[in-house]
Every structure is written in C-alpha cells, then in structure tokens.
Structure 1
Amino acid sequence: MIFFQSIRMAMTSVIGNKIRSFLTMLGIIIGVSSVILVVSVGRSFTDSITGQFDDLGTNQLMVSIMGMGVTSSLTLEEVDAYSHLQGVDLVSPTISGSATAKYGNRHTDASLEGVTPNYRPLKNYRLRSGRFLLDIDSQYRQEVAVLGSEVASKLYGLGNPVGQDIRLNGISFKVVGVLQPKGSDLTGSNDDKVLIPIATAERFLQTKGIQSFVVKAVNRQDVPQVKAQLENNLSKTFKNHPEAYNVFDAQEMIESSEKTSAMMSTALASIAGISLVVGGIGIMNIMIMSVNERTREIGIRKALGAKKSNILMQFMFESIVLSTFGGLIGIGAGLGLTSLAGQLMGNPIAYAWDMVLIAFLFSFFIGLVFGISPAYKASRLRPIHALRTD
C-alpha cells in the first residue's frame, strides 16, 4: 500500500510541474535518442556494406593495376592466364568508362563497361530478354551491347530493345540483351550500365590493356592460396614493386568495414552517453531543489507519522519517474529519428532493439543512482526543524 502511494505521490509531483519536469528530463531524452540513432544507423551502414559484399561474393579477389614504369597494365591474355591457377573458378577483366546512350530523340548518361562472358556469373546477372555477350563478340570486336534495365527503360520505354540500334557517343551498336533489375552494389548501380565486348571497349574508349579484374575462387577456403599465387605472379610481372598493384580480399574488406563501423558507433554512443550522465546530474540538482522547497511538507508528513523510509521512497520514485519518462520519450524520439535517417539515406534501417532496452534500463539506473542523495537528505530532515521553515 505504501509502495503504490509513494508512486502516486511521485507521479503527482512530476505532472504538477510539467515544464520543470520536461526540462529536467531533456538531458535523458537527448542521450537516449542519440544512442539509439547512432547505433541503429551505424549497424544499418554495416549491414548495407556487408550485404553488398555478399552480393559480390566473399570468395572474390579484386585486383587493381596502378602500373610501374612502362608497364601500366596487363594484356587480356595475361589476365586470362590467371584462370589456370589452382583454386580459381573464373577470372573477369573489366574496362570501365562512360557514354551518352541515345535512341531516337531519347538519351541518357550511362556507365560503360567492357566485359567478358564471365562477368555474368560473377555478378549473378539474369537476362530479361535476349542474350549475354559471347567470346566471339570480343574476338571480332563486334559492336553489340547488353543494357541495364534502367537504360533500357529510359530509351525504349515498355518496348523490347533487343535487335534495335543504340548510339553510344555517336557510334551505332546493336542491342543483343537486356538485364533484369538488380539494384546497386559496391561498384555502383547495376541498372544504368551498358555492357560491350572487352576488346570493343579498348577501341571505343581508346585504352590499351587491363587495369582492373576480379578473380573468383572455387570457395572461401581457397582464397588465401589464390591470393598468394596472384601476388607472386604480379610481383614477377612488376619486378617486385608491390605498389604497382593491389589485391583486395572481399572478406577482409567486410571485416575491416565492420570493425571501423563498430568503433565509430561505440565512440559516438559513448559521447551520447555522456549526456545521460549530465541528465542524471540535472535530475539530482532538481531533486535537491525540490527537497529544499518542500521542507515544510516533509516536516508535516513526519509529524503525522511518516517514516524515514516513506520519505526516502517518495523522493527516490520521483527521481526514477523523471528519468524513466525521459528514457521513454527518448526512445520514441530515437526511433523516429532513426526512421527519418533511413528514409533520407534510402536504405532499410536495422533498429538497435537491444540498445533500446539498454538505454531504458540505463535511464532507470540513472534515476536510481542520482536520486539517492536528495532522497536521503529528505528522509534525514528532523520534523521540528522542517516545520520552522517558511
């Protein structure tokens, strides 16, 4: 009975001073909402990066050639030779650029990539219509193209582009295939691309040699062995100049991005957590002021038979109610801000529900800890001294 009476009196006191109570809770609100926002956005970013790597495959190695001296790239034959290394499933070289694609009076800017047939299984592309590029297309430098779904939609509307002509920077190509929508990954949008044979791309983009290619291992366990073989061969090609090339392991990049994101989230959450402590100090100060203002009330209650434990419990509950209400409002604000951040970023949000629970419990704990001193002070007041207070 006394327990529920203490809660009721605490609620009455908090509700009776709405503005002061809200200002007191503000530090808790900011702290809780900031922690939820920072951790949720951080996890969403990590999940997004991990998902994009998963789409690419964790058994892939990405090779970039910077060059050294007169050797600034590899030939297509040199890159193809890596497909014979032990543990290698396939090799996919790429030549990248951009082009203005035009059909009739419609035009759009698109990413242009010169690729081999291996590019399709590497990227898990599916065809909406037509066919993919063939080895013979590159062998004879055919001017044929496969369109991403977005390019096809912009230029041809609902029509079927296969068999139609498309002009890339003024040069006519025949459309042989259209890809199904796939969205974006770490290499950018897959839907605004135009794919052409790699040998045709060398002539079209006026480049010579391969500066970027992907090696796919048979499975994840083969990656270290394949990477060692690649680096050994590249070292021989570039005369022991490791700065001439980079070999990126997709799994290592995932782990690195997760570690970086976790460190940033922890640091930002710790900073946000400071405001929770500041909010707790604010609650303690307000509770001390409340005790001073209500000294006479405390004296009357004690004179009427209230025990020290009753007074202690009442002021403890007031402190806990303030911090807990602040925590609940902060949770609502944090979830709302997280949802807004997700809409602005255009990515699905991974709500940090565990942090919601932790933040709520921490706000309760803040009220408990910072309410002890004022509550103890109130319970120790002597009735005769308290009743003399004006």
Structure 2
Amino acid sequence: MRVLNLLKIASKAIILNKTRTLLTMLGIIIGVASVVAMLAIGEGSKESIRTSISSMGSNMITIKPGADDRGPARGSGGDVQTLTMQDYEAIKKQATLLNYITPVVNGSGQVINGSSNWPSTIYGVNSDYLKIKSVDLQSGSMFTDDEVKYASKVAILGQTVVENIFGDGAEPVGQMIRFNNIPFKVIGVLEEKGENTFGQDQDDVVISPYTTVQKRILAIDYLNQVMASSISEDDAANAVIQVNDIMRTQHKLSDNDEDDFNVSSMEELISNFSSTSEMLTLLLVAVASISLLIGGIGIMNIMYVSVKERTKEIGLRMAVGAKGADILMQFLIEAILISITGGVLGVLLGLGATVFIEKFLNWPTSVAMYSIVISFIVCAVTGIFFGWYPARKASALDPITALRYE
C-alpha cells in the first residue's frame, strides 16, 4: 500500500472514534502545552533578568572589600576597611580595559525638605558614576571635578526622593535639602529607572561627591566599593582578571593568600541568574513531560483496543494481499497521527496559556521556535515508540485466525 492510502485509512479510523481519540490525545495535549508554556516562562525570565541587570550598567564591574559576597544586599562592603583610595588610584592607573571608574561610599539617613522627610541612601561618587550606571539626568547637571575636590555640599536626587519630599511635578534643582541635618544644594534630578532584579528601587537615591560623603556624612577615609565599566561587554571577563591581579599586588597577597576583596561583573551576575533560571525551567519541563508519558501510554492502550476491535478487518486486508509491513505501517501511522494532532492542539493551548500568563499574571514570557519544533519531534517519537508494539502485534496476526475472530 502507498503511504497516502495508509494515511487515508488511519485518518478515517481516527474520525470514526472521535471521542476515544480525543481522550487519548488529552495527555499529549496537556504535556505539550505545559512544555511550551514552561519554556516560554523560562526564556522570558532569562530575557527579563538580562534586561534588568543590564539596566544597572551592562559593562559594570564592582570591587568590594572582604570575602566574596555577590548577593543583592544594598549595603556595599559594610564596615570592612580593606578598600582604600590607593586601591582606586592603582586600578585607575593600571587597568587598561576599563573605560570609567569611581570610588563609592554610601550611608543611610533622612532626606529633609521643610516638614517633609524621607529615609534614603546617599552614594558618594565621582562624575563617572552616571556613565557606569547608564543613568541620565532628567534636569540639572552632574557635579564637577572641582566640587569633588573641595567636598562641595551638592546633591543629585532620584525620582522617588523628589516625589516624597517635594511632591509630584516639582522642580527641585536649585533648592536646598538636608541629609542627616547637613545642608545640600540640589543640582540635578535623575531619570526614572524603576526597580532592579532584586526589587530595589533605583530611584530612591541621593548622589553626592564621594569626598563630601566621606568627610561630612560618614567621617571615614576608606571606600565601601569601587565601580568601573569595561570598554565593552566582551572585555568584561578579562577586565575582572586584570583588576583582580592589580588588587592582589596592591594588598601584597602571596600565591597562598586568599583575596581580601572580590571583583565581579554584571555578565557574571547575568550568567549566574540565567543558570538558575534554566535549572528551574528544566525541572518544570521534566514535571510537565510526565503528561507526555501518560499520553504515550494512553496511545499504546488505545491502539491495543483498536487492534482487538479490528482483528477481522486486519484479516480481511491480509486475505486480499496486504502484507504484514502494510498493517504495521497502518497502525503506526495512526498512532503518529494521534500524537502529532495532540501536539498541534497542545502547542496552540500552550501559546494561549503563554498570552494569558503574560497579560493577566504579568510574568515575562518569550516563545522560542525551538520549543515548538522540539514538541513536534517529541510527539512523533512518542507516537512511534508507544505505537510500535500494538502495530507489531497487528502485523503478526494470522489472517485465517483473524478472519475467524468474533
């Protein structure tokens, strides 16, 4: 028999048993829909993580004092005092793969304007900070090198701070505020950035010259961290190695000594979060694949029933010249058709679920073409694997015995 004739016969058999076929497909439909939706959530999460972390400065490299700690804590370096201005100067002078670099000191306190006050964090930096963090000014200007040199009491505010101490739509540039009762002149307002991956409000911030924060707010001479940006994203990994070597030399560490600092890049952070997201996605896909297994077993069972019910038909076909291979192909094609039809319906259901998840649950999703291709391949393999044995049983029937079957 030709393949086309076999397809027609298999299609008729499926159409004649619509309800049973649909119930057989159910496991495949649910399994494929779950796999498509889970992979879409996984891909969407990875893209969201990359976008969110990149918004904090895609080429950013961070040098912190103390043991390796790459968590999302907002405080940078705490009271560990192993990072100094000498370290910053050495990195600035010797690191050839860095574009911008700034010392960073930070502390918490109350921002006050008249009777309004708001708890926030002040960051002491230099004029490279905005370039490193990929932040623009909405209004005003960045402080100058002279203002850094002379520890001028000037500040740039994030949108959250502006809204809470000045009100919506206010223009605070040129006005005076106090941070922990120390007066500052507002010289700029940052553009709104929203929350980062860790749920931290990037607009709840006050920026001032690091010399001002060191001397007038914190009364310290060490740094909480150093921020820098590599020339390009491709240079980030080598820049981390270069900075690490400079720091080890600065701190006079021998080969056997552990680092008393840590250097990390945004690319590392993206990679770590993506790996975690991938593992979670694989776990969810594995759970969803159980439905495919159940669907495959359903196909095998229904094909067994079909072989039993159509034993006389099989005997008749063999009696008029059909070979065992033709019977095997007929039932195998039937199993594959059931599986692939279930796969098509599953993909459509999965795409619908993805739209629902993104629209109503506000979860980021991204449907990758490979997930659909993989789904169809898995469906075809499922049909062949679980349909083979019933089809083999059908092809091995004795024509005379089959014709006598009641």
SS of equivalent residue, structure 2 residue 171: coil
**What is the CA–CA distance in structure 2 between the aligned matches of 1:128 and 1:95, rounded to whole Å?**
24
Tell me the equivalent position of 1:361: 377
**Preserved CA contact (<8 Å) 1:14 1:318:** no
- CA deviations over 1:333-380 (Å, ceiling 9, x no partner): 333444455458856433221111121222123113321222232344
Distance 2:28 2:280 in 1: 22
Is 1:2 the counterpart of 2:5? The answer is: yes
- Judged with a 3 Å threshold, the aligned counterparts in structure 2 of structure 1 residues 170 and 335 are, in CA distance, closer, same or farther, namely farther
Amino acid at match of 2:129: Y
Name stretches of at least 5 consecutive residues in structure 1 with no aligned partner: none
Matches within 5 A, 1:174-193: 174-185=185-196, 188-193=200-205
Alpha-carbon shift at residue 182 of structure 1 (Å): 3.3
Q: For structure 1, which segment, 211-220 or 263-272, has the greater mean C-alpha deviation from structure 2 after superposition? A: 263-272
Q: Deviations over 1:193-229 (max 9, x none)?
A: 2222323333435655212112334455596367435
Counterpart CA distance in 2 for 1:347 and 1:150 is: 25
CA distance in 1, matches of 2:123, 2:197: 15
Contact map agreement 2:159 2:190 (CA 8 A) in 1: yes
> Letter of the aligned partner of 1:198 in structure 2?
Y
State the AA in 2 paired with 1:333: L
Aligned residues: 385
Give the whole-Å Cα distance in 2 for the aligned partners of 1:342 and 1:381: 52
Tell me the TM-score normalised to structure 2 length: 0.77
Q: 1:385 and 1:58, CA in 2 relative to 1: closer, same or farther beyond 3 A?
A: same
Q: C-alpha displacement at 1:319, in angstroms?
A: 1.7
Residue aligning to 2:349: 333
Match for residue 128 of structure 1 among 117, 135, 138: 138
Q: CA 1:230/1:100 → structure 2, altered by over 3 Å: closer, same or farther?
A: same
Change (3 A) 1:12 1:223: closer
Give the one of 15, 20, 24 matched to 1:17: 20
Instruction: Report the counterpart of residue 70 of structure 2 in structure 1.
Output: none
2:206 to 194, 212, 216: 194
Letter in 2 for 1:118: D
Call closer, same or farther: CA 1:17–1:276 in 2, change over 3 Å.
closer
CA distance 1:256–1:285, change in 2 (3 Å): same
Question: Is residue 171 of structure 2 the alignment partner of residue 160 of structure 1?
Answer: yes
- Checking the alignment, whether the CA contact within 8 Å between 2:42 and 2:281 is kept in structure 1 is yes
- For 1:204, the equivalent position in structure 2 comes to 217
Query: How many Å separate the matches in 1 of 2:280 and 2:156?
Result: 41
- Aligned residue for 2:63? 63
Secondary structure, aligned partner of 2:11:
helix
Which whole-Å CA distance do the structure 2 matches of 1:348 and 1:247 have between them? 30
Unmatched segments (≥5 aa) in structure 2 = 68-76
Give the match's secondary structure for 1:357: helix
TM-score (norm 1): 0.80
* Aligned counterparts of 1:107 and 1:383: Cα–Cα separation in 2: 92
AA aligned opposite 2:380? F
Q: How high is the sequence identity, in percent, across the aligned residues?
A: 32
Q: Relative to 1, partners in 2 of residues 1:312 and 1:168: Cα closer, same or farther, differing over 3 Å?
A: same
Q: 1:137 to 1:274 in 2, by over 3 A?
A: same
